[in-house]
Structure 1
């Protein structure tokens, strides 16, 4: 696997982390976390996200309304908003740290220890961002499943189901975690390469020779 160089691994990890960050940002504002189709009126489709609730009809199209009160939000939506803010913030910092830690980027050129520290920081922040993306999506999914199978709710009442944004949220969280893991792999590859170069640059040990004094016995 000679093609899998340290520089290639660094750029692949940065690409995955950046892709996960962009997908997480889009998921945060999409009103497609949950969907509801009423059997009484099949022409209406309801969608709900962390910021809006929308209704789609063939006559009017898509009409969305933002949640009016922040304090009146359910606990799962309130916690999900906070975690998604943390995810986007840490993910952005992680991508920036990883970018400046890449080999070939001008800032910190020649400072291997600084670049190594930036890559490790980028990996940790990407991990935090990925976990704080997976947590709110999984929380909303758990609440949706519990409410869907709640026997106290009459069967005639429509139930919310998973929307497309939840799946994109899971994908973005996994991309961030994998990208952060690849950054750690790139750091290990760089350490191995530096150790190997240090070994080859050492001068060869001069073999010891025994010198004998030739004496004559008179």
Structure 2
């Protein structure tokens, strides 16, 4: 297709990566990773995130409190904090590396080699950022399912369920992985555009016949 050029693919990869980075950044600080609602007191809703827990009541509204001790947190939340921090850092570096590698940007102008390496680096960092977003979200989702179906808890005790941040985290992680893949596609398209043009076979035959001398058969 004519409009699907290397430049368009690079911009698309940058746009998808930026969307995944923003979504992952918001997910990391949302207190909506897990929700809990008690049947005994329906006016209270509890929300839990990586950094604080919140209580919502109709009379007071929402009140949030940060966790008092990091060591007192469950292991899945501790691991998720580290991985989400890595995701934010690598996602930001992927965007910074991708911008000077785009076609039409004045930085590294006339140097296709460095631009190509920057796009490859952006793709790798986007993949790392996406995987380090999907991993903690999936880990918290797994532990939530295990605790929800744990038969050791009484039936009357409220249990944590999935929050909206879980789904936004999955969306952001997949967007980052797709964005990194599109960066590699853009690199391959650029390599294909810069390939040396092959000489048509008919021209090769004509050039060869010029070297032959016409002989007469006696």
Where structure 2 has 5 or more consecutive residues not aligned to the other structure, the ranges are none
Counterpart Cα distance in 2 of 1:207 and 1:36: 81
Q: CA RMSD in A?
A: 1.7
1:199 — aligned with what?
Answer: 197
Give 4+ residue runs of structure 1 displaced > 6 Å after superposition. none
- 1:63 alignment partner in structure 2: 63
CA offsets per residue over residues 142-163 of structure 1, 9 Å max, x none?
0000000000011010010000
Q: Is 1:211 the counterpart of 2:194 in the alignment?
A: no
Identify the residue that residue 8 of structure 1 maps to in structure 2. Answer: 8
Q: CA deviation at 1:70?
A: 1.1
Superposition pairs of residues 25-174 of structure 1, within 5 angstroms: 25-174=25-174
Can you list the C-alpha shifts for 1:101-143, whole angstroms capped at 9, x where unaligned?
1001111101101100000000000000000000000000000
Query: What is the CA–CA distance in structure 2 between the aligned matches of 1:213 and 1:38, rounded to whole Å?
Result: 102
For normalisation by structure 1, the TM-score amounts to 0.93
> 1:200 Cα deviation (Å)?
5.8
> In the TM superposition, what whole-angstrom CA distance separates every residue of 1:177-205 from its partner, at most 9, and x where no partner exists?
0000000110111111111xx21699x65
Q: Which runs of 5+ in 1 are unaligned?
A: none
Supply the distance in 2 between the matched residues of 1:159 and 1:212 (Cα, whole angstroms): 95
Deviation at 1:100, TM superposition (A): 1.1
2-side partners of 1:24 and 1:213: how far apart? 77
Shift of 1:77: 0.4
Q: Structure 1 35/208 Cα, relative in aligned 2: closer, same or farther at 3 Å?
A: same
How many residues of Structure 1 are paired with residues of Structure 2 in the alignment? Answer: 213
**Shift in Å at residue 164 of structure 1?**
0.3
